[in-house]
Homo-oligomer: A and B are copies of this chain.
Amino acid sequence: MQRYFVERSQVDLANGLVRITGDDVKHITRVLRMKPGDTVIVSDGCGTSCTVALKELQEFEVIGDIRHSLQSREPQVKITLVQGLPKGDKMDLIVQKGTEIGVSEIIPVETARSIVKYDEKKQTKAVERWRKIAKEAAEQAHRDAIPAVQRPQPLRQWMNKLSQYDLVLVPYEGEIVQTMQQILRTAGPIHRICIAIGPEGGWDDGEIAEFLALHAQPVTLGPRILRTETAGLVAAAVILYEYGEMGGV
């Protein structure tokens, strides 16, 4: 069934109504040529979805009746992917694949070895593009929430917020002992977990020292060296696997 994300303000729970606006109206009326009575899935983008029977199809908005609420497909464990800004358009791939796999938040960070520098205008454009990619990937993956994509920020600024996570994992080529299995299987109950991925050249020694001082966990992803755009996706997949977030009833 076709899935649309709306703002919370477009959901009128008291009257059981949803108002769909913007590009989705054209998609419903012109692309899919839907009619009153047809059903779609509407998500508030924060984890709640319901089936909606379309009622009024107008040129600039579609009104529908909320029918049934749906069981959330969102993972219980919330993964934040902190990504050292990579070269070229790799961030596009990271946002798309991270969204499909199930991360909750993506934070690009400027690191010692990040080569990319954005001016204010370019950065705004890039963030807008990443958010669009996240929305479309969330729709296609049948997610009930769109991962929040933050504006790029200096690594050290983000480090001030490190204590909000139950666990911070830092994949690092210099770590050869501590594995994902060991950490995840002994960590106890985890609700918010962060994976911090260095850019192409990896984290530098100073950054690793700061992570350690803040009790982040260096970890190996194995003897095969993953590219920066691959490492976070692999780490996110194994976290969701380990916590039983890959299906089953």
Contact = CB atoms under 8 A, between A and B. Distances in A.
Given A220-B246, A224-B101, A248-B220, A181 B241 contact: yes
A177 B237 CA distance: 19
Contacts of A234: 101, 233, 237
A101 B227 CA distance: 10
Given A220-B248, A230-B101, A141 B177 contact: no
Contacts of A242: 241
Contacts of A181: 241, 244, 246, 248
A143 interface: yes
A96 to B, nearest CB: 8
Interface string A136-178: 0000111100000000000000000000000000000000111
25 contacts: A73-B224, A100-B225, A100-B227, A101-B224, A101-B234, A140-B227, A141-B224, A141-B225, A142-B224, A143-B224, A176-B247, A176-B249, A177-B248, A179-B246, A180-B246, A181-B246, A181-B248, A221-B246, A222-B240, A223-B247, A233-B233, A233-B237, A237-B237, A237-B238, A238-B246
Interface of A: 73, 97, 100-102, 140-143, 176-182, 220-227, 230, 233-234, 237-238, 240-242, 244-249
